[in-house]
């Protein structure tokens, strides 16, 4: 248990540091790299909780595919380093008030939910086994088939939209 705690503490330090680095770095590429580091540490958290499937999906989808596309766009546009830009006037007060609401909410939840004798346990060994993967697929494709399909249609629409937008530009140039 103690070794797990040590790993958790070290990893959370890394995750928080990476998140801060992402926000404060002036270079967009460095920001993206910090975000990748953050995603990877989160994946290790999932591993610690005994959910290798989610951990691997996290790395493949977020750290791999999505962030590579981000990096790609950053490099193509050549916005390597941000000039000290004029921020929108209403952005700061809005961000601060939203952050304040979030802090209040989480503190309230923490106080109301955390009972002294309640222990959060890791999921049992069944999560780690092959049956769990099967179970998950069964639930996803039987019970939640409609949301799954709706999500995929949503993504498809976004993709078609992107293609249509670029196509119109080309036609206009001709």
Partner 1 sequence: MDWTLWVEWIVKGFVLCLILLTGFAYLTLYERRALARMQIRVGPNRAGYQGLLQPIADAVKLIFKEELTPAKVYKVVFVLAPVLTVVPSLVLAAVIPLGTSFTFFGRVITLYVANLNVGVLYLTSIASIAVYGIVLAGWSSNNKYAMLGGIRASAQMISYELSLGLCFAIAIVMSNSMNLVDIVNAQKGMWFVVIQPVGALIFLIVTLAEVNRAPFDMPEAEQELTAGFHSEYSGMKFALFFMAEYQKMIVICMISATLFFGGYREFWFLKDTFLSVDRYWFLAPIYLLLKVVVLLFFMIWIRATWPRIRYDRLMAFGWKVLLPLSLVVLFITAAGILLEQELHNSIYFYSIPILSIVCAMVAVVFIYRDLRRKSNGRV
Binding site for partner 1 (CB under 8 A): 29-30, 33, 36, 52-53, 56-57, 59-60, 63-65, 68-69, 71-72, 75-76, 80, 128-130, 133
Tokens standing for 97? Answer: 């008030």
Quick one: CA torsion of 103, 105, 108, 109, rounded to 10 degrees?
Answer: -110
Least separation in angstroms between residue 44's CB and partner 1 is 12
Q: Which CB atom, from 20 or from 99, has the smaller least distance to partner 1?
A: 20
d(CA 138, CA 141): 5
Least separation in angstroms between residue 119's CB and partner 1 is 23
Least separation in angstroms between residue 74's CB and partner 1 is 9
Residue 71 CB coordination number (10 Å): 16
Q: Which CB atom, from 15 or from 55, has the smaller least distance to partner 1?
A: 55
Least separation in angstroms between residue 124's CB and partner 1 is 15
Q: Which CB atom, from 103 or from 133, has the smaller least distance to partner 1?
A: 133
Q: Residue ranges of the alpha helices (H) in the chain?
A: 2-24, 28-48, 52-57, 67-77, 91-113, 130-138, 145-173
Q: Which CB atom, from 65 or from 164, has the smaller least distance to partner 1?
A: 65
d(CA 25, CA 82): 9
């Amino acid at each position: 248990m103690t070794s797990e705690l040590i790993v958790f503490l070290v990893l959370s330090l890394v995750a928080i540091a990476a998140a801060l680095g992402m926000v404060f770095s002036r270079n967009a590429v460095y920001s993206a790299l910090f975000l990748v580091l953050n995603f990877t540490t989160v994946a290790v958290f999932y591993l610690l909780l005994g959910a290798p499937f989610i951990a691997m999906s996290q790395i493949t989808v977020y750290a791999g595919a999505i962030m590579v596309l981000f990096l790609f766009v950053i490099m193509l546009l050549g916005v390597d380093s941000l000039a000290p830009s004029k921020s929108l006037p209403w952005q700061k007060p809005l961000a601060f008030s939203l952050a304040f609401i979030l802090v209040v909410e989480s503190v309230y939840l923490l106080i109301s939910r955390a009972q002294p004798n309640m222990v959060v346990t890791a999921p049992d060994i069944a999560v780690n086994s092959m049956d769990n993967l099967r179970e998950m697929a069964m639930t996803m494709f039987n019970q939640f088939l409609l949301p799954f399909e709706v999500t995929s249609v949503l993504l498809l629409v976004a993709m078609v939209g992107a293609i249509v937008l670029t196509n119109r530009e080309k036609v206009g140039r001709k």
